[in-house]
Amino acid sequence: MSTESIFQTHLVLGYVAWLLCFGAYILPWLTSMDSVKAHRAIATLHSFRFFGLVFLLPGVVGPNLPASFATFAAFGDLAAGLLAMLALVTIRMRPVFWLFVVAFNLVGMGDLVLDYYHAIQAGLPARAGELGAAYTIPIIYVPLLMITHVFAFYLLLRPLAKAARVLTGEAAVS
């Protein structure tokens, strides 16, 4: 099996495993709490994204890890992580908290999508061994981050969808 096939298989199975775990354990837990607590839990997970700086650390990643991927991934993760931390420290200032919740989710999801793009452009799947010890980040951590971003956007948009149903009269019918 080629390096590219192994990497792609790992990536797909990472999503499958996390979706199964999310559906069985995390989703029921998050939906049992109010929106602020759910977003706080998601922000706590994302606050560890400073770890993405490891893509720049010689000896952890291979010397031929494409810089076009590594630099953008490292600093995108750092930005998302710092915004998540700012959301956490502003929990008592709700308008500011919500601003940082939206910001870290937009920046974080944008970072992940662009990281996939840069990885493909740089041919990273065929050179996945260059990730070194950081190989587990895209395989184990990134799927969970992406799934929680999608759920966070669902939570953020749910009140808007409910308000739209009320305005159009659908709420009275259903």
**Short-list 50, 53, 69, CA closest to 7:** 69
Is residue 7 pLDDT above 60, yes or no?
yes
Please report the pLDDT score of residue 43 as a whole number.
Answer: 98
pTM of the entire predicted model: 0.90
C-alpha dihedral (153, 154, 160, 162), degrees to nearest 10: -170
DSSP per-residue string spanning 47-112: GGGGGGGGGG-BTTB-TTS-HHHHHHHHHHHHHHHHHHHHHHHTTTSHHHHHHHHHHHHHHHHHHH
* CA 110/CA 64 separation, integer angstroms: 25
| Mean pLDDT taken over the chain | 94
For residue 122, the SS3 value is: coil
**Short-list 143, 139, 162, CA closest to 26:** 143
Is residue 41 pLDDT above 70, yes or no?
yes
Please report the pLDDT score of residue 161 as a whole number.
Answer: 64
For residue 29, the SS3 value is: helix
Q: Bridge partners of 58? A: 61
